[in-house]
Chain A
Amino acid sequence: MSDSASIMPEHPPVTDWVNDFDHTDPTWTENPFPIWEKLRAASPVVHTERFLGCYMPTTYQAVKEIAYDTDHFSSRRVIVRDVRPEITARAPPITSDPPEHKPAKQLLLPPFTPDAMKKLEPRVRAICNELIDEFIADGKCDAAARYTKHVPVRAIAHMLGIPEKDGDLFIKWIHGILELGIKDDNALMDAVREMTGYFAGHIEHRKQNPTDDLISTLMNARDKDGNPLADEHVLGSLRLLLIAGIDTTWSAIGSSLWHLAKTPADRERLVAEPELMPLAVEELLRAYSPVTMAREVVKETTVSGCPVKPGNMVLLSFPAANRDPSMFPDADKVVIDRKENRHAAFGLGIHRCVGSNLARMEMTVAIEEWLKRIPDFRLDPAGKVTWSEGTVRGPRQLPMLFGKAN
Chain B
Amino acid sequence: MAGKLKIRVDQDKCQGHARCKSLAPELFDLDEFGNAHEVGDGSVPAGLEDKAWLAQSNCPEIAIEVTEE
Contact = CB atoms under 8 A, between A and B. Distances in A.
Interface of A: 106, 109-110, 112-115, 278, 282, 339-344, 346, 348-350, 352, 356-357
B60 A110 contact: no
Interface string B44-69: 00000000001001111110000000
A337 to B, nearest CB: 12
B65 to A, nearest CB: 15
- 5 cross-chain pairs, A with B, having the tightest CB-CB distances, nearest first: A352-B15, A109-B33, A113-B34, A340-B57, A342-B60
A110 B21 contact: no
30 contacts: A106-B33, A109-B16, A109-B33, A109-B34, A110-B33, A113-B30, A113-B32, A113-B33, A114-B18, A114-B21, A114-B30, A278-B22, A278-B23, A282-B19, A339-B57, A340-B57, A341-B58, A342-B57, A342-B59, A342-B60, A342-B62, A343-B60, A346-B17, A348-B15, A349-B61, A352-B16, A356-B17, A356-B18, A357-B18, A357-B34
Contacts of B19: 282
B58 to A, nearest CB: 6
Contacts of A344: 60
Contacts, number: 51
Contacts of B32: 109-110, 113
A342 B58 contact: yes
A348 B60 contact: yes
B18 to A, nearest CB: 5
A53 B61 CA distance: 30
Contacts of A348: 15, 60-61
A394 to B, nearest CB: 21
Q: What bracket does the count of chain B residues touching chain A fall in?
A: 10 to 19
Contacts of B23: 278
B17 A352 contact: yes
Interface in B4-58: 15-19, 21-23, 30, 32-34, 54, 57-58
Nearest to A107: B33
Contacts of A339: 54, 57
User: Could you tell me the dominant secondary structure of chain B's interface residues?
Assistant: loop
B24 to A, nearest CB: 12
B9 to A, nearest CB: 15
Contacts of B57: 339-340, 342
B34 A114 contact: yes
Contacts of B18: 113-114, 356-357
A349 B15 contact: yes
Contacts of B17: 346, 352, 356
Nearest to B62: A342
Given A350-B15, A352-B16, A340 B30 contact: no
Contacts of A350: 15
A348 B60 CA distance: 7
A343 B58 CA distance: 8
Contacts of B59: 342
A142 B57 CA distance: 38
